[in-house]
Structure 1
């Protein structure tokens, strides 16, 4: 009887320790696609303006959200609709006697949206205003279109970069696998540095249109990269190239992840006058978000170790987490791979 109770307690303990991982797994499968919608308004004269409304397709379906302009905004011509790069795009033109000044923007159905709506307003003189609409801020009043200062531009795109990496769950899962296969802090430093340099190169190349690759196959290969690392963790062959030289893996696949970052940045857009600064700031934000995630990962493992030692009177070692990590990462990425291949 006592032995049976001990077995049940151990099972309950394992479940308690794995519960955060299971929750994380579910969130990966159900909430992977967090690309933002975007609304770009470009003034073509003091009274006319073009509108580009872009909504990502999630699982092949368009979110039921739409932009709303004041009633005194008169549409000129028909709305052109396209589906490009797994996103629904509308092009339309409007006339308003008073122009953009004093115009209230709002999003119908924003309470159902899974992400932010990025708004860019470009005046006739090319001054650009950038803001974000979400559940907390569902509307915006355009008082005057004034370009952000250099400091504000940097801060804005750093924040966007941090937010993107922290909701880019496939990138985070890849980083989590890199942390595990690194083994030592020194290897981890080299591995993360290699990943950073690699994805920074392709981010800059893609964002400046030097090298452009369709995003669908890139996203599929990103999922495949996680499956590969999960398989390497499961095999646990210390002489394998991945475990001996993780920096080679992080650098190679990092090139592909850079194209993924660039795809999101293309949805956001870059200010005409300070493209280089915005691009650099976005990349800095991605790196800061990445460091925040790695720190959170260490704290989580530390908490789990303390809890396990208190309950079991023995330390929680990384080898004990090997199979749960590899299975959860591998299964999650397999779902993504199937979903992304089906979207071709």
Structure 2
């Protein structure tokens, strides 16, 4: 049976997700470097670093030696980030120069880099901790920018352990493949709606209360999974797609933090939103598809596990949700971000 195979074969997967998630759930925000060409050989630089748990990202930018500061860096604080601005110049332009992100290699944060030139061309790149620098060269095609936002969305869902654990928990309360399709589709539609309205600035949700509610959505699934295994029923078990849609609206606001934290210009948001959302959907489908492939591959294997082990995923989902909820409520009461 679909549920039995999940319970017996994948409890290890959900346990690993939860253990990793208690450390890093929904705490990964990108840094952002914007370089606008003001005149020949002169550029305005905006360097934005996120604030995590009240602390700034310990990363600083370092340009090539032949890059000169026209104005000294000026810093201002925002609720979720620190923004540093300056004006630089370099003979011959920035092509052929390098900027290093000192300290990035010790983090799990990426940096989105955008260069806007006077002729209207735009270059977009993503810098990763494994290679904490970027060399400015010839312009890249628009497809490169699409790839950057797509990969960012893909990584955001796969690194957002709380989102994945919610999806995983949903799999334990569906009773058929058709209901699974309806449930996952409802979650996709819901979080796509709120991802769009939040990124476009139509609705704002405070980050800490939102994250506490996302944790509560995971906690909510734990008892429902236990009810399924006990042969009981509830509104959630009968109509999981409705619950998936309702909580999906909240998770969409969480996804939006991956874009809104960048501070992109309004004109760039629609394209970035489209590709980011496609990346989120691709990551979600890969995750669900992997589970279904594991089920198909392991159906023929007979494994007898103690009842306590079979119930472990339900308790891991519930306990993880409780931990995140209490931790985020404590952060909210303590006034930290």
CA distances 1:61-116 after superposition (whole Å, capped 9, x unpaired): 3332221112332151452131423xx31222122143433331111112211132
Note if 1:57 corresponds to 2:51. Answer: yes
Are 1:92 and 2:80 counterparts?
no
SS in 2 for 1:343: helix
Work out the CA distance in 2 between the residues paired with 1:126 and 1:47: 15
Deviation for aligned residue 1:321: 6.6
Deviation at 1:227, TM superposition (A): 0.7
Work out which of the residue numbers 71, 75, 83 in structure 2 matches 1:76. Answer: 71
SS at 1:91's partner residue?
Answer: strand
Counterparts in 2 of 1:306 and 1:221: CA distance versus 1, 3 Å: same
| CA positional deviation for 1:333 | 2.2
The one of 293, 299, 317 aligned to 1:329 = 317
1:242·1:249 contact (CA, 8 Å) conserved in 2? yes
Higher relative contact order (CA 8 A, sep 6+): 2
Gaps of 5+ in 1: 1-13
Post-superposition shift, 1:338?
2.8
- The 8 Å contact of residues 218 and 318 in structure 2, kept in 1 or not, is answered as yes
Q: Comparing 39-48 with 178-187, which one deviates more in the overlay?
A: 39-48
Question: Do structure 1's residue 178 and structure 2's residue 170 form an aligned pair?
Answer: yes
Partner Cα separation in structure 2 for residue 250 and residue 18 of structure 1: 21
Tell me the TM-score normalised to structure 2 length.
0.84
**Matched residue, 1:265:** 259
CA contact (8 A) 2:11 2:310 kept: no
Instruction: Report if the CA contact (8 A) 1:121-1:128 is conserved.
Output: yes
Q: For residues 194 and 54 of structure 2, what CA distance do their matches in structure 1 show? A: 27
Query: Which 10-residue stretch deviates more, 74-83 or 207-216?
Result: 74-83
Query: Deviation at 1:189?
Result: 0.6
SS in 2 for 1:57: strand
Contact 1:128 1:148 in 2 (8 A): no
Q: 2:293 corresponds to which residue? A: 299
> 1:81-160 counterparts in 2 under 5 A?
81-85=76-80, 88-98=81-91, 99-144=93-138, 146=139, 148-149=141-142, 151-160=143-152
Q: Choose the corresponding residue for 1:343, options 316, 331, 336.
A: 331
Specify the alignment match of 2:4 in structure 1: none
Alignment correspondent of 2:335: none
TM-score after normalising by structure 1:
0.82
Q: CA RMSD in A?
A: 2.9
1:217-273 CA distance string (max 9 Å, x none): 222211111111123223447431111100111111111111111111123465766
Contact in 2 for aligned 1:50/1:91 (Cα 8 Å): no
| SS of alignment partner, residue 156 of structure 2 | helix
Counterpart secondary structure, 1:218: helix
SS of the equivalent of 2:204 reads: coil
Count of residues in correspondence between the two structures:
321
| Distance (Å, rounded) in 1 between the aligned partners of 2:88 and 2:147 | 33
CA contact (8 A) 2:18 2:165 kept: no
2:237 and 2:70 mapped to 1: Cα distance? 59
Question: CA distance change for structure 1 residues 18 and 248 in 2, over 3 Å: closer, same or farther?
Answer: closer
SS in 2 for 1:25: helix
Name 1:3's counterpart in structure 2: none
Corresponding residue for residue 194 of structure 1: 186
